[in-house]
Amino acid sequence: MSARDANESVKDASIQAAGRLGIAKTYKIYIDGKFPRTESGRYFEYAFKTGTGSANLCWSSRKDFRDAVTSARGAFAGWAKATAFNRGQILYRIAEMLESRRSQFIEELTWQGLSTLEAEKEVATSIDRLVYFAGWADKYQQVYSAVNPVSASYFNFSILEPTGVVSILAPEESALLGLVSVIAPVIAGGNTCVVLVSGEKPLSAVTFAEVLNSSDLPGGVVNILTGQRKELLAHMSTHMDVNALVYTGSNAEEIKTVQLNVATNVKRLILLKDWNRENPNLIQDTQEVKTTWHPIGI
């Protein structure tokens, strides 16, 4: 309940009636497993579509992005080395945590303009999608790896390895499902990420950060920023310590910009025209192929 909303209810109630002022949530960003405010101190106001209040969201700066990348890089070695089973368990735990907060997320989605029915469907699909990718964590390797029958006495095998730190521009049009759809395949494969969430529907992302934080996910594996895409796009696509960029949307100018920018360090660019699907290719997108040779002999 927002402060304004609560005040209204007190005004309407009679003096004897039970009236209680709600405690409004401060919407912060999520970096390194903690919830700081933006270092820039800037905010943008988001008015709830239900007319029941508004919230001030952090207007993240390039420095926030820079700090998030540092955190993601620091978390990468540990996350990539975690067993596939462990990563799958954590993704499943994220689903458990989201499921236990269903009503909160449904309500928050209605504040962002969805009907209750749409909101219920979106939350259910998001949970199921997390379970879907949790199940891939310890299997994609079996589907995409190969033992290669080279023409000499060598044992030759190709396996997938995570590419590293991934910048993600989450879908503008979706508050929760889009976010889950772009994050899950990236981290299932052992990468860490910095996500700039939807500017149109930013609330669920911040609450989702709370879910991540209570899921045994190590700090820094997912970092969540609210802010302006046009301000951060350049940094997200030029940063030399970012290995891949996942772009959602169809703005031709933006696309051209990122295509040029990724050349700074030969970033892998993933243009996700259709993010709303369940397919292990989404995991493969942010993986490298490592081939090893070893003699067979005495």
C-alpha 50/C-alpha 60 separation (Å) is 25
Closer residue to other proteins (CB): 35 or 92 = 92
For residues 285 and 187, the answer to whether their CB atoms sit within 8 Å is: no
Task: Report in angstroms the alpha-carbon separations of 35 from 56, 58, 68, 139.
Answer: 15, 11, 12, 33
SS3 state of residue 82? coil
Per CB under 8 A, the segment of 11-19, 41-49, 137-145, 217-225 that binds other proteins is 137-145
C-alpha 122/C-alpha 128 separation (Å) is 10
As measured in angstroms, the least distance from the Cβ of 154 to other proteins is: 9
Contacts for 216 with CB less than 8 Å, ≥ 6 apart: 89, 90, 93
Count CB-CB contacts under 10 A for residue 118: 13
Site for other proteins in 114-133 (CB under 8 A): 128, 131-132
Residue 149 engages other proteins in binding (rule: CB under 8 A): no
Residue 293 engages other proteins in binding (rule: CB under 8 A): no
C-alpha 233/C-alpha 230 separation (Å) is 6
Quote the Cα angle for 240-246-251, to 5°.
110
Site for other proteins in 35-74 (CB under 8 A): none
Closer residue to other proteins (CB): 59 or 140 = 140
Among 46, 111, 136, 208, the residue binding other proteins under the rule CB under 8 A is 136
Q: DSSP secondary structure string, 20-33?
A: ----PPPB--BBTT
x/- site string to other proteins, residues 201 to 240, per CB under 8 A?
A: ----------------------------------------
C-alpha 282/C-alpha 178 separation (Å) is 13
As measured in angstroms, the least distance from the Cβ of 183 to other proteins is: 18
Residue 92 engages other proteins in binding (rule: CB under 8 A): yes
As measured in angstroms, the least distance from the Cβ of 136 to other proteins is: 7
As measured in angstroms, the least distance from the Cβ of 124 to other proteins is: 11
Closer residue to other proteins (CB): 137 or 272 = 137
Residue 1 engages other proteins in binding (rule: CB under 8 A): no
C-alpha 65/C-alpha 222 separation (Å) is 12
Among 10, 47, 143, 289, the residue binding other proteins under the rule CB under 8 A is 143
Residue 142 engages other proteins in binding (rule: CB under 8 A): yes
C-alpha 259/C-alpha 4 separation (Å) is 44
What does DSSP assign to residue 263?
G
Residue 134 engages other proteins in binding (rule: CB under 8 A): yes
C-alpha 150/C-alpha 136 separation (Å) is 29
Per CB under 8 A, the segment of 49-57, 88-96, 100-108, 265-273 that binds other proteins is 88-96
Among 89, 110, 228, 257, the residue binding other proteins under the rule CB under 8 A is 89
For residues 32 and 71, the answer to whether their CB atoms sit within 8 Å is: yes
Residue 135 engages other proteins in binding (rule: CB under 8 A): yes
State the residues that interact with other proteins by CB under 8 A.
Answer: 84-85, 88-89, 92, 128, 131-132, 134-139, 142-143, 155, 280, 294-298
